[in-house]
Structure 1
Amino acid sequence: MCDMGGLDNLIANTAYLQARKSSEGDLRELQKRRKSLSLPPPDVCRKEIKDTIILDFQSICVDQPIGRRQFRDFLKSVPEYLMVQELLDEIHDWELEEGSAKEQLLQSLVCAIQVKNTGQMYACKKLDKKRLKKKNGEKMALLEKEILEKVHSPFIVSLAYAYETKTHLCLVMTIMNGGDLKYHIYNVGEKGLEIKRVIFYSAQICCGILHLHSLNILYRDMKPENVLLDDNGNCRLSDLGLAVKVKEGQPINTRAGTNGYMAPEILKEENYSYPVDWFAMGCSVYEMIAAQTPFRDPKEKPNKDEVKRKTLEDPVTFNHPNFTPETKDICKLFLAKKPEERLGSRSNDDDPRKHNFFSSINFNRLEAEMVDPPFVPDPSVVYAKDIADIADFSEVKGIDFDEKDNKLFKRFATGAVPISWQQEIIDTGLYDELNDPNRQSSGKYSFSDGEKKSGVCSII
């Protein structure tokens, strides 16, 4: 059987290492492409921008990376607004001051890719169209893409582009080369993680789950295998294939998740909501410490019925010596059998980040990515299982597409995600190049018969 976790990390990591060894010819080609780019005239895109962007301060001046930058540049250009700029900076610094009180049903192939115009590296998740249709997974793939479009958090993988080829639907996302937490728990050094790493990763995971819940999104597949590390050692939630939108008046009772991490209410096929993510969070914290899930004995042969029984009936026990009093307490609260008694769900303002387990974490600084991770992955190491453990995909035969399929594929392939694209343009320096008044561009922006074309659009 194919080990997808190993395949994801092996391909992404090795290809990424090769891409970082760019030759002089590659750099010249990148420079040539960037010189060919140019911005469209303001009058051409003004109406489209007004029709597609929410015209409020939060959206334009805070959420949109280019809008945020332009707003600050504007403040700097007007003398009487300089005080406003300084005030915003002071508020930002104060909020970040130390001590301040204040989610495998669909198989996929992942590879590393590089955007030709900017040089930015990403991971590309390729979903086989025929396999999707055979398993009735087309709508689930579209739902994952639509959910990823809404998510903008440093603790969840970001979607940058969505496109289709003749055979695949492709999601271009944040590249994560540090491996998943499951690999680190069981394959790097002694089994289990140091407590400082457990606290750090748990804090980032909590922030990611809270961001999803704020968007009315239920993760449903929280487990260490779905938490990936980047080059710097920060972690992000990945694989939102089982995520679902929570809608008022529409109860959720479909069995979904991974055995050993599913909450009692899912196992009993009752209606459930956000508390199931916190139960899975408790299972994950426990596993990071003990290198086993709370309701499964690694010495026993895996048995789904026994894991279900233990999850529903048995109290959680803490036999590993690395469980501190705070760790035991937060695990007990996350693993409460009744959802209304579970940490994060006991009241409307029940925030897991307030627990003493996180007393060493300044969440304002953490969310601003100003806290140094306790572990930095070695860039020369591939954090994945041996290639011998990875099998090839078999070709899916006897599947034909109809007009309904083609319409869904077109809904999927919407191109660049605005906020992620803006951040890429800024991070790679292309924004400054395009706005340099002395820049000479060989690119042309032309349109005819109402069709707009831009050199920026042909990304991959």
Structure 2
Amino acid sequence: MVDMGGLDNLIANSAYLQARKSSHADSKQLQRRRRTLTLPGPQSCEQLRQAPPNDFHSLCEQQPIGRRLFRDFLATVPAYQEAVGFLEEVQSWELAEEGPAKGSTLQGLVTTCAASPGHPHPFLSPALVTKCQAATTEEERASLVELAKAEAMAFLQDQPFLEFLASPFYDKFLQWKVFEMQPVSDKYFEEFRVLGKGGFGEVCAVQVKNTGKMYACKKLDKKRLKKKNGEKMALLEKEILERVSSPFIVSLAYAFESKSHLCLVMSLMNGGDLKFHIYSVGEQGLDMSRVVFYSAQMTCGVLHLHSLSIVYRDLKPENVLLDDLGNCRLSDLGLAVEIQDGKPITQRAGTNGYMAPEILMEKASYSYPVDWFAMGCSIYEMVAGQTPFKDYKEKVSKEDLKQRTLKEEVRFQHDNFTEEAKDICRLFLAKTPEQRLGSREKSDDPRKHHFFKTINFPRLEAGLVEPPFVPDPSVVYAKDIGEIEDFSEVRGVEFDDKDTQFFQRFATGAVPIAWQEEIIETGLFAELNDPNRPAGCGEGNSSKSGICLLL
């Protein structure tokens, strides 16, 4: 007899893997679609032009297309290009491996700053040039280069930025912004297999039809949301994801609605979650090189959330996902909450086995330190293949686990624990927040712990550290579709005007940074900007923006 469930899974996986392989602009169907696309004309940008322009940081540093076009503009003015070249040299020095070569680069930068009197740099003050000429120690040189970097940035934010706003390069940016603001619906995507399920719906793989980019789509059932009063939580997760911009946290690219669902389209992490790798690949637990690497990236992700006044509240290996290259990102910010005016949180939330003592205690409030406790639990689990207060597959009640977390000290019985791993776990798992690593004082930075002595954090954040493990591209790191339970139909729920307003507030379309990264990464930016591009069937009527052709 044919195993129809197994056949369905094979077909779903094959289609999904094929889509991942053809996600570049090389398929004939994708090329045909792209030939119909065109940027909206300048006349469609008038409303945007009348609005105040973005500040320099948002327009020329955060937004990828804005950054690219500002760089293109600067390249047309030699004095401005000189400042860009200097800043690139400074960045190379900052990201260089420690050693003699880095010292030589620093010396070269100071020599560049100390230009001859007849050839002063337009972006440096005479006072700073004089100081650079007199610098003798490495500490002095490093300090002066930082000052020179600040002056070069200030220079670019002044007259060059104003000239950019009056240039054709900014006109082109506005065209791309109008393109970015197009309506988004389920017709924008091709849907593939289900990857998992959450409390309000399933997560499936999708592909943007016009770029080939693959994403994960979290589909929230509208009726289920209303029945379970989950609207506020869904909107909070969406708004937090919009604010986040870190290589160590999943990115939100689109938020839209279909007839039955609210959809969050996010980074597709093909390598599976850390829980899968801890328990389902080889022996339980991970090699220490992987534990250190993932912990470093998780720490950077948590620090980014805290810098935005956000407490994660659900850090655990199951919520840490690997991408194609083996880098990890925090996911599922459904329980994340923003600290308002520095006030602590009182509502209990989290996952049993990872919740800090202050969450479990009656009538207690808590704040950022709970995430560091969960970090300690996660590091312990990656090393030992079990959580600190519960053996693997041990049956234990919530109350027993709570009492163990509140009263028992952590024990290290697994042979894989190094002294550094034991120490960082003890510090993260301190019972009181005031004694916990990351929250003992304002400047308490977990990245400085000797557990991370092999990690160069500036290079890690720049994506220059090679992951110790790369997922197999021919494997689908997800449950078989037959193992993912279907949701039952929700009955007896009707929508009113208030619901419609909520759906519209949620469905805001493309998220600028992630969308612009997609456009550049998939080659569409270069293609539509090419002045020699042959006219496609999408052109011809200059009164239409060409956006409709996407749908």
TM-score, normalized by the shorter chain, greater than 0.5? yes
Equivalence map 1:159-308=2 (5 Å)? 159-248=252-341, 250-269=343-362, 270-298=364-392, 300-308=394-402
1:379 matched residue in structure 2: 473
- Segments of structure 1 that go 5 or more residues without pairing to the other structure are 1-8
The one of the two structures with greater contact order (alpha-carbon pairs below 8 A, sep at least 6) is: 1
Distance 1:445 1:112, change over 3 A: farther
Residues 1:81 and 2:174 are matched in the alignment: no
- Segments of structure 2 that go 5 or more residues without pairing to the other structure are 1-8, 103-141, 143-196
1:113 matched residue in structure 2: 206
Give me the whole-angstrom Cα distance separating, in 1, the residues matched to 2:540 and 2:264.
27
Give me the whole-angstrom Cα distance separating, in 1, the residues matched to 2:509 and 2:346.
33
Higher share in helix:
2
Distance 1:387 1:39, change over 3 A: closer
More displaced stretch, 422-431 vs 433-442 = 433-442
8 A contact 2:41–2:542 mirrored in 1:
no
Q: Percent identity?
A: 67
CA offsets, 1:222-260, max 9 Å, x none? 000000001111100000101111111543110100000
2:486 matched residue in structure 1: 392
Pick from 403, 409, 423: which aligns with 2:517? 423
2:44 matched residue in structure 1: 44
Residues 1:330 and 2:424 are matched in the alignment: yes
8 A contact 2:270–2:324 mirrored in 1:
yes
Distance 1:192 1:53, change over 3 A: farther
User: Which residue identity is paired with 2:39?
Assistant: L
1:27 matched residue in structure 2: 27
Q: Which has the larger radius of gyration?
A: 2
8 A contact 2:40–2:547 mirrored in 1:
no
8 A contact 1:209–1:219 mirrored in 2:
yes
User: Which residue identity is paired with 2:501?
Assistant: K
Give me the whole-angstrom Cα distance separating, in 1, the residues matched to 2:321 and 2:12.
12
2:546 matched residue in structure 1: 455
Per-residue deviation, 1:335: 0.7
1:310 matched residue in structure 2: 404
Distance 1:231 1:417, change over 3 A: same
Residues 1:16 and 2:10 are matched in the alignment: no
Distance 1:52 1:356, change over 3 A: farther
8 A contact 2:348–2:360 mirrored in 1:
yes
User: Which residue identity is paired with 2:432?
Assistant: K
Equivalence map 1:86-165=2 (5 Å)? 86-99=85-98, 106-165=199-258
User: Which residue identity is paired with 1:96?
Assistant: L
1:3 matched residue in structure 2: none
More displaced stretch, 22-31 vs 145-154 = 22-31
Indicate the RMSD between aligned Cα atoms, in angstroms. 2.6
User: Which residue identity is paired with 2:385?
Assistant: A
CA offsets, 1:46-79, max 9 Å, x none? 5426648632x22111111011111221222212
Distance 1:262 1:42, change over 3 A: same
User: Which residue identity is paired with 1:455?
Assistant: G
Per-residue deviation, 1:149: 0.7
CA offsets, 1:390-422, max 9 Å, x none? 222211111111111111111110100011111
User: Which residue identity is paired with 1:158?
Assistant: S
Give me the whole-angstrom Cα distance separating, in 2, the residues matched to 1:24 and 1:290.
40
Distance 1:264 1:413, change over 3 A: same
Match of 1:349, SS?
coil
1:5 matched residue in structure 2: none
Pick from 521, 533, 538: which aligns with 1:443? 538
Per-residue deviation, 1:387: 4.5
Per-residue deviation, 1:351: 0.9
User: Which residue identity is paired with 2:537?
Assistant: S
Residues 1:409 and 2:503 are matched in the alignment: yes
CA offsets, 1:6-36, max 9 Å, x none? xxx9999765303135499992332222122
8 A contact 1:10–1:383 mirrored in 2:
no
Q: How many residues align?
A: 446
Give me the whole-angstrom Cα distance separating, in 1, the residues matched to 2:501 and 2:91.
45
1:6 matched residue in structure 2: none
Report the TM-score, using the length of structure 1 for normalisation: 0.91
More displaced stretch, 15-24 vs 223-232 = 15-24
